[in-house]
Structure 1
Amino acid sequence: MRSRRELKAWKVREWDMTERRPNEGLKRLLAEAGWTLGQLATAVNRAGGEAGVSVRSDKSNVSKWLGGHTPVEKVRPLILEALSRRLGRQITHAEAGLPVPHGVPSPSSTVEGLVDLGRTDMDPSRRSVLGAGLYSVALTIPGWPDVVGRAEAVKSGKGLRIGSGEVDMVIQMTEKLSDLDDQFGGRTARPMAASFLVNTVAPCLRADAPEDVRKAMLSAASDLCYLTGYMAVDEGLHGLAQKYYLKALELAGAAEDHLTYCTTLRGMSVQAIDLGHGRRAMELADAAATAAPKAGPRMLAFLTGQQAHSAAQIGDRATALRRIREAEAAMDRAESRGKTFGSYDPATLHYHIAQVRYELGDVAGSVAAMRTSNQLRHSHYRRTTVRFHAIQAERQLQMGHLEEALTSWNRALDDYPLVRSGRADARFRNMRKLIKPHLRHPGAAELYERAQQVKPAAV
């Protein structure tokens, strides 16, 4: 008979052998991806950087994982995301030989999920958790047939009845929030949007209402969710943005609102392309165009302009040029019917032209189109003006036109202190890095000193 000490030692050895059984699932996925150990480690670190998670994996870590060591909890979703991006499908914990998380709540109804998301977003103590949310390239996007008519997810309440006045209130509030976002950036308006979603919109979604009013409220809520997701993108909270975008898709389907469904897919494509995931951006842009009902010329330009940018980023020159010509022709037809403030306009079209030209290697053509975009843009869109003047400056410097770049950066700096935007902040961090080699130039030194003094609006 074994002593207690011998028994304990035996159990430890047995446990150690069980824990360190080679991870065949991860080994298979690594072989399918065609990656070395170091390449997987690099991809994991990149995903961590996007999510704001500090990770320093190297090939020795990957070797240990393959040998049976369980990665620490914060690294596991990063491994799954890295492999999902590489293989183009969602990789699960089980498939990768990783422990399946316990205690994950089952999916709640559309409205309940929206409330949970909004309440977490409103809680300052949870903001760091939201900020660490990981952007997923392989996220499953519900198709239009999967979400259309899912009104049973929204159940009527008792004692509260709404009419068209409440719908108009949500629409007008969304417009006001959008105005604030345009002028002052996502960090200014998103907390208000989250609060409004939880405290006002969610009760309205549960209220009794005639069928037409109920669907109109679902549609208005979907549009607000899309806007809130867009503002999260502006802050750099990409995992959070995806959560809001998915809620927007669900609500649009329940409302049978094709327009907001397609607009949200396009917004998700914009997010993907900004993060450098061109193929995913192309898939989402094509899905938006395919799902769209018969579109008017402005909507057609709105969709094909994004398709053009996405195609250019993945090097599909023929498709990019064909799509941008379609967008230009559609915009010509739209403008002949009169201009609409606040919708896809010539300034945005020229931005897409600039992006297509830049992705295809025409830096000078890109700068010319960006200059036209900045000239046409209404002064109301302050946040966009700051970002696009900064982008123009970066490309002017790339061409060796230092004086012109300094002028563009100074214009961007004029409005930067009024904007609370993660994307604008990133542009000015990049500016300080790019201008350092040119500090012997008086204008560059002056700009650098000015940038050191100028601070963005307080968070």
Structure 2
Amino acid sequence: MVMSEQGKGRPELARARKRLGMSQDEIAEALWVSPTTWSRWERGKQKIRPVYRARMAEVFGVDPIEVERWVDGGQPVDTEAWLCPDFSDLSLPATVEAAGRLWRCDVDPERRHLLATLPFVPAALGGWLSAWSYGAPVTSAARQASGPLVGLSDVQRIVEARQAFGQMDHQFGAGLVRPAVVDYLNTVVAPLLRGRYNDKVGAELMTAAASMTQMAGWTAFDLGRHGLAQHYFGQALKLSKASSDALTGVWVLTSMTQQAIWLEHPSQAVWLARAAVDAARRAQAPPRVLAPLLVREAWTTALLARQADTLDTHAAKQVEQLLAGAEQAYAQGSTDRDPVWTTWCDEPELGSEIGLCWELLGKYDRAAHLADFAVREFLERRPRSAQINRMNAADAYLGMGEVEQAIDSARAAIPMARSLTSVRSVERVRKFSDRLEPYAATIHVKEFRAYLNSELAS
């Protein structure tokens, strides 16, 4: 008879939950069982069916054999099997070790497959956000070790590499750049984190590592690997906490917001967006940091109200006030405190997301105008952004009832989607095609769908 069946419980199962920063209610929701059932599992009072053991392996991001050890009350798990962000320990050593473990697993051919199949777990976000917002700050980012001495010049090289990877991502899509980003994290950043550095260098190093980890998460998101992206965003959030860098943290939060929007989790998206705005204000963020955060809050507010069918005058006014605040903040100009990532949030990018808010409010003409402007600005320097904004324009024209113009805009985006290594770009076109179903019998829609299928198939 196994230990759990002798009344000693399953301590490793409880430990697994706590490492994710989840309550019993939250993990039960992620596993599609009742909180009572989960509680009985932890206490060893109820057997766990194979289907739920398999689901646990997905949610916790471990090999199924590790789940069997937890369930049977075996020896403590091999820590190398842990891939998920552990927000129960925000110390510098634990943060460095967890990040390095994730990067190491992502370059391992055997473990990479497991990472790619990880599910997105919205229930985990609350614990992560709470730990990042209210957890005790790291007292010092210094590290004394036998590794190499790290200086600010080493950190600057990470910053420059991050900028180069970002430009490649915009130009070609995530499929081309992601392997290089993960390899860089594992071969360059990880050894530096294990080195020796003082508090000043350590703080800058953690910020640079957080930025590069966010890049790995973003590229996973662009490739449709949403559980993996969530894990990377979580590790980036932990690294920003270790650096005491609130502005990098809010950047990670706003990336997580966009992922929640894409996956149609508006409730989580709203409080991620609001948490980013609140943190930015507490840190007295520069106006060009605050502007895109306010737009994301407006976007999520409109999305949640529309999904709940409560997009009334009050909700619309709230969205408009947030957009006005964003435009006023952006108009104040840049400062010497602006972090590097604000360079990506330029006027066309901001206008693009403002247009999405207007589309949700039914202001389709304003949405189309902003999307078309973004296409013109991005066509040469950011092809993926241009492609996505062509689709934004198509949605706006469709909202106006201009079906032919909508199809023309979407049709122009198809060759771009085919040339980019971006799953998200392709999904964007297919979602628009699904919206054309009320017009499926028309010749324009039939021709568009035939062209779409032939182009993407080739």
CA distance in 1, matches of 2:73, 2:371: 47
Matched, 1:270 2:270: no
Alignment map for 1:50-129 (pairs within 5 Å): 70=49, 72-73=51-52, 76-77=55-56, 103-104=76-77, 109-129=94-114
Cα distance, 1:290 vs. partner?
1.3
Cα distance, 1:259 vs. partner?
1.2
What TM-score, normalized to structure 2? 0.73
Distance 1:101 1:232, change over 3 A: farther
Equivalent position of 1:297 in the other structure? 287
Cα distance, 1:172 vs. partner?
0.8
Cα distance, 1:303 vs. partner?
1.2
Distance 1:318 1:147, change over 3 A: farther
Equivalent position of 2:150 in the other structure? 162
Distance 1:285 1:101, change over 3 A: farther
Cα distance, 1:184 vs. partner?
1.2
The answer (yes or no) to whether the contact 2:58–2:117 under 8 Å persists in 1 is no
Distance 1:128 1:356, change over 3 A: same
Worse-matched range after superposition: 201-210 or 394-403: 394-403
CA distance in 1, matches of 2:73, 2:276: 33
> Which digits, 9 at most, give the CA deviation of each residue in 1:381-405, with x for residues without a partner?
1112112212322342343323212
The answer (yes or no) to whether the contact 2:95–2:242 under 8 Å persists in 1 is no
> Which digits, 9 at most, give the CA deviation of each residue in 1:200-256, with x for residues without a partner?
101101111233222211111011111111111111111111211111111112112
CA distance in 2, matches of 1:207, 1:347: 41
The answer (yes or no) to whether the contact 2:418–2:456 under 8 Å persists in 1 is yes
Q: Which amino acid aligns with 2:105?
A: T
Equivalent position of 2:344 in the other structure? 343
Distance 1:430 1:265, change over 3 A: closer
Distance 1:285 1:434, change over 3 A: closer
Distance 1:324 1:172, change over 3 A: same
Distance 1:112 1:150, change over 3 A: farther
Distance 1:69 1:239, change over 3 A: closer
Distance 1:311 1:163, change over 3 A: same
Cα distance, 1:170 vs. partner?
0.7
> Which digits, 9 at most, give the CA deviation of each residue in 1:166-191, with x for residues without a partner?
11111111111111111111222111
Cα distance, 1:79 vs. partner?
12
Matched, 1:396 2:397: yes
Equivalent position of 1:309 in the other structure? 299
CA distance in 1, matches of 2:167, 2:360: 30
Matched, 1:256 2:244: yes
Cα distance, 1:159 vs. partner?
4.4
The answer (yes or no) to whether the contact 2:418–2:426 under 8 Å persists in 1 is no
Alignment map for 1:219-238 (pairs within 5 Å): 219-238=207-226
Q: Which amino acid aligns with 1:109?
A: A
Cα distance, 1:269 vs. partner?
1.3
Q: Residue 137 of structure 1: which of 122, 131, 152 is its match?
A: 122
Q: Which amino acid aligns with 2:183?
A: S
The answer (yes or no) to whether the contact 1:121–1:191 under 8 Å persists in 2 is no
Q: Residue 138 of structure 2: which of 135, 146, 149 is its match?
A: 149
CA distance in 1, matches of 2:454, 2:170: 24
Equivalent position of 2:180 in the other structure? 192
Query: Gapped runs of 5+ residues in structure 2?
Result: 6-24, 34-45, 61-66, 80-85, 87-92, 306-314
What TM-score, normalized to structure 1? 0.73
The answer (yes or no) to whether the contact 1:418–1:456 under 8 Å persists in 2 is no
C-alpha RMSD of matched pairs (Å): 3.6
SS at match of 2:332: helix
Equivalent position of 2:165 in the other structure? 177
Distance 1:100 1:404, change over 3 A: farther
CA distance in 1, matches of 2:216, 2:247: 17
CA distance in 1, matches of 2:236, 2:401: 44
CA distance in 2, matches of 1:439, 1:74: 46
Q: Which amino acid aligns with 1:175?
A: Q
Cα distance, 1:440 vs. partner?
5.3
